[in-house]
Amino acid sequence: MIFLFTDFGAEGPYLGQVKAVLSGMAPGVQAIDLVSNAPSADPESSAGLLGALSQYLPSDCVVLGVVDPGVGGIRDPVVVRADGRWLVGPDNGLFDGVTARAEEVVRYVIQWRPARLSASFHGRDLFAPVAARVAVGNLTGLVRNVEGPQRAVPAPDIDRVIYFDIYGNAFTGRRYSVALKRRRLVVNGHMLSFARTFCDVASGCAFWYRNSIDLVEIAVNSGSAKTDLGLQIGTIIEWTD
Amino acid sequence: MIFLFTDFGAEGPYLGQVKAVLSGMAPGVQAIDLVSNAPSADPESSAGLLGALSQYLPSDCVVLGVVDPGVGGIRDPVVVRADGRWLVGPDNGLFDGVTARAEEVVRYVIQWRPARLSASFHGRDLFAPVAARVAVGNLTGLVRNVEGPQRAVPAPDIDRVIYFDIYGNAFTGRRYSVALKRRRLVVNGHMLSFARTFCDVASGCAFWYRNSIDLVEIAVNSGSAKTDLGLQIGTIIEWTD
Amino acid sequence: MIFLFTDFGAEGPYLGQVKAVLSGMAPGVQAIDLVSNAPSADPESSAGLLGALSQYLPSDCVVLGVVDPGVGGIRDPVVVRADGRWLVGPDNGLFDGVTARAEEVVRYVIQWRPARLSASFHGRDLFAPVAARVAVGNLTGLVRNVEGPQRAVPAPDIDRVIYFDIYGNAFTGRRYSVALKRRRLVVNGHMLSFARTFCDVASGCAFWYRNSIDLVEIAVNSGSAKTDLGLQIGTIIEWTD
C-alpha cells in the first residue's frame, strides 16, 4: 500500500499524474491519498503531522511524501526505512516525525535519475518511480545507503499549530501525555482546559483534547478554532497550571 | 463496493485513514468517495442528499456514512439494511433518506468495540472495520438485530436547501414530481419557474429544475444560485401557483 | 486506465457516481482523478490544460473529459481516438489540445443512448458507460465514424492564463520553446523574465518558467502569482524582447 502525503491539493493536476506513474510501475498496489493539503512549503509542520499519522498506517507501507519547496535545488532525494515503513521524498526534514517514533532507521540517497526530469515536479518524475520500485521490492541500482541501521533520535515536540482540519480544528505538534491533562493550554491570549471530546463542553466553548492521532488539538464545540481564536499555522502554544 | 459519504473533506487526514482500514480488512473491495463535503454536523440535510443519491448506487453496495456531531457521546453505532444496500454509521438520522426510499428495512446496533477507540474518530476505529466486515459478508458477533425486517416509513420531503454543489447550485430536500412542474418555487424573495435544464433559460436567469438525482434544485444559468440569490443550507423554500 | 478530467470538484456528489458506473461496467480497470477543477464552463482553457497533460498519460489510456456547459443542449457526444489514446466527452472543443498534439485522429459520434438520461449529468448517464465500454474494448453499436483517420491539425497556442494550481501559479496555454527563453513575458503590466525554477529567483520575485507539462507558467517564489499579480483565467499574455 502506497500513501501519498503531499501539499498538491486533491483537485489539481499533480496527484493524478503521480498515480498514473505508480499504477503503471506497481500494478495492483493500491495508492491512497493520505493528506493532500499538508502545510504548503513547510516541511517542519508537515513532519509533525506525518509523524503522528504514521502510527496509524500499516507497518509495512510505503509513504510517498512531497512537501518540497526546494525542488530543483540542492536537497537530496531520499528513501528512509523507519522500522518496516518506507518513506520516499526530499531530504528536508519531512520524515523527521516518523523516524522519531521508530526503533530503527536506515537512510538511503536516491542515485537513480529518470531520462526526463522536470525542474519542478520530482513527485512525478523521480519520487513516484522510486516509490513504485520500493513497493514491488526492487531497489537494485536505485539508492546507496548513507546511514544506519541505527536507533532513531527522538524529535522534540513542536509547541505550535501545525495543521487545520476541514472543521477548523487546530492540530499542534505536541504529543499528548497523561501529565498534560490537568494543565491549561495558552494560545493567542486564550486559556483552554482539557476535555475528552466535543460533547463534554458547551456549544461555542474552546478546549484542548487528545485527537485521534494522539496530538494535542485545539477545538471549539460547534465552532472553528481557526476562526474563533484567530489561529494560524505557526501560532505558538504554551502550558500553564 | 463501499461508498464513503462524509463531511471529512477530500484533502484532510481522515478519508485516507479510513481507506487504509478498509483496504487492510476488505482487500480487493473498491472504496469510492461518494461525497466528502456533506453538510457538516447536519445529519438531517445530509440524509436528504444521501437518500436521493442512494437510488443511483449499486443495489448491493455498502455505504459508510459519517456525519457525526455526536461522536464520543451517547448515540448508537448502527448497521442498517435497506433492501439490498448496507448502511454503516451513527444512529442520528443520517440514513433516514435511504430507508424512506426502501421497501424493507432491518436495523442492527453495533455491539463490537475495537481494542483502541478514539473519542473523536469512530469513522476510522469503529465504522470502517464494521463496514469492511459487512463488505466481506461476515457480521458474526458484530451486531444485534433491533428492528425489522419491516416496511420502511416514508420520510417527509425537506422543503429547504440541503446542499450546494461546486457550481453554487442549491439542492433542496424536495423530491421532484410531475405535479410540481407548473408551480413556482419561492426562495428568499425570488420566484422561480421550472425549466428542463440550463440551456433552456437565458444567461443570468434563475430557475428550478429536476436535478440528476431527482431532487428539486435551484440554479442560475452561468451563475451561482448560492451567491446570486443569497442562499444557505437551511434556507426555506415554498411553492406557489 | 481511465482518467477523469472534469470541473466536478473532488468533494461533491458527481465524481463518485461516475466511478460507480465505471467500476460496475469495467471492473478491474483503474479510474484516476486527473483534474477535478478544470476551468468551469470553459472548454477552450480546459483543452489547453488537457492537451499539455495528455503527453504525460499512458499511450493507450481512456480520458473521460467533462467540461460541458452545453449539457442538455445540442452539442454531440463524441469518442475521439488521438493516436492510441481514447477521449470520451462532449464535442465542444475540449479535446482540441490533445488532438493537436497527435499524429492521427479519428472521430466518432456516440449513437447509443441509455434508458435513463438525465438532462444535466451526461457524465454519469452517457459518457461513463461509453468510457467503460471503450476501456474494455467493446464499441459495437455505440458509435459511428464521422471523420478520419486523418492527420491532426495543429492548434494555435493560447496566449492567456488558462489555469491556476493550488499554489496560485498561473498556467498559460502557450507551449514552451527554447526560442522563448530569452524573451520577457508581459502580463497585467508586469514584465517577467525566464527562470529555470523557483530556487533560481529571490523570494517574492515573479518570473515565468517551463512547467512540468511544458507550458509557459507564471509564478512568484514563496508567493501566489494569481494574487500578487492580479491574474485571472483569461488574462492575456504578451511577449517582448
* Three-state SS annotation for chain C: CEEEEECCCCCCCHHHHHHHHHHHHCCCCCEEEEECCCCCCCHHHHHHHHHHHHCCCCCCCEEEEECCCCCCCCCCEEEEEECCEEEEEECCCCCHHHHHCCCEEEEEEECCCCCCCCCCCHHHHHHHHHHHHHHCCCCCCCEEEEEEEEECCCCCCEEEEEEECCCCCEEEEEECCHHHHHCEEEECCEEECECCCHHHCCCCCEEEEECCCCEEEEEECCCCHHHHCCCCCCCEEEEEC
Return the closest-CA partner of residue A100 out of A164, A54, A61: A54
pLDDT tens column, A181-225: 999 999 999 999 999 988 889 999 999 999 999 999 999 999 999
Chains that touch A (3 or more CB pairs under 8 A): B, C
Per-residue pLDDT tens over the stretch C60-96: 999 999 999 888 778 899 999 999 999 999 999 999 9
Nearest to C124 among B58, B210, B212 (CB): B212
Which residue of A11, A20, A121 is in closest CB contact with C37? A11
User: What pLDDT sits at residue A73?
Assistant: 77
- State the pLDDT at residue B100: 94
* Sign of the torsion formed by the C-alpha atoms of C95, C55, C222 and A234: positive
- B partners (3+ CB pairs within 8 A) are A, C
pLDDT of residue B73: 77
Are β-strands C2-6 and C31-35 bridged in parallel, bridged antiparallel, or unpaired?
parallel
User: Where residue A155 falls among pLDDT bands split at 50, 70, 90?
Assistant: confident
Is B167 within 8 Å of C40 when comparing Cβ atoms?
A: yes
**What per-residue confidence (pLDDT) applies to A167?**
95
For chain B, 241 residues long, the average pLDDT of each consecutive 10-residue run is 97 96 95 97 96 95 94 88 97 96 95 94 97 94 91 87 97 96 96 91 95 97 96 97 89
Residues of A with CB under 8 A from a CB of C: 7-17, 19-20, 23-24, 40-41, 69-73, 118-121, 124-125
HSE-up of A211 (CA within 13 Å, CB side)? 24
A11/C9 Cβ within 8 A: yes
pLDDT tens for chain C, 241 residues: list them.
999 999 999 998 999 999 999 999 999 999 999 999 999 999 999 999 999 999 999 999 999 999 998 887 788 999 999 999 999 999 999 999 999 999 999 999 999 999 999 989 999 999 999 999 999 999 899 999 998 888 888 878 999 999 999 999 999 999 999 999 999 999 999 999 999 988 889 999 999 999 999 999 999 999 999 999 999 999 999 999 8
C56: closest CA of chain A, how far (Å): 7
Radius of gyration of chain B (CA): 19
Query: CB C13 to CB B213 under 8 A?
Result: yes
Q: Average pLDDT of A49-69?
A: 96
Q: Taking residues A28-55, what's their average pLDDT?
A: 96
A114 or A148: whose pLDDT is higher? A114
pLDDT in the model for residue C204? 93
B32 contacts C20? CB cut-off 8 A: yes
Please name the helix (run of DSSP H) or strand (run of DSSP E) that holds residue A17, with its range, or none: helix A14-25
Hey, are the CB atoms on C118 and B212 less than 8 Å from each other? Answer: yes
pLDDT (0 to 100) of residue B90:
97
**Residues of chain B that touch chain A, judged by Cβ-Cβ distance less than 8 Å:** 7-17, 19-20, 23-24, 40-41, 69-73, 118-121, 124-125
Give the closest residue to B133 by CA, choosing from B24, B33, B34, B58: B24
Instruction: Give the bridge partners for B190, in sequence order.
Output: B187
Q: Which residues contact A185 (CB under 8 A, 6 or more apart)?
A: A191, A192, A208, A216, A218, A237, A238, A239
Helix (H, G, I), strand (E, B) or coil at A174: strand
Q: Rounded mean pLDDT of chain A?
A: 95
With CA atoms as reference, the chain B residue closest to A224 would be B40
Nearest chain B Cα distance for residue C20, angstroms: 7
> Which residue of chain B has the CA closest to C10?
B10
pLDDT of residue A8: 97
Q: What is the pLDDT of residue B162?
A: 98
Q: What is the pLDDT of residue B70?
A: 80
Percent of chain A whose pLDDT exceeds 70 = 100
Q: Are strands A190-192 and A206-210 parallel, antiparallel or unpaired?
A: unpaired
Instruction: Give the pLDDT band of residue A171 (cuts 50, 70, 90).
Output: very high
pLDDT reported for residue A93: 95
Mean pLDDT of all residues belonging to chain C = 95
Q: What is the pLDDT of residue B197?
A: 85
pLDDT at C155: 79
Residue A177's pLDDT is: 95
**Hey, are the CB atoms on A11 and C199 less than 8 Å from each other?**
no
Residue B74 has what pLDDT? 81
d(Cα A27, Cα C185) in Å, to the nearest integer?
Answer: 42
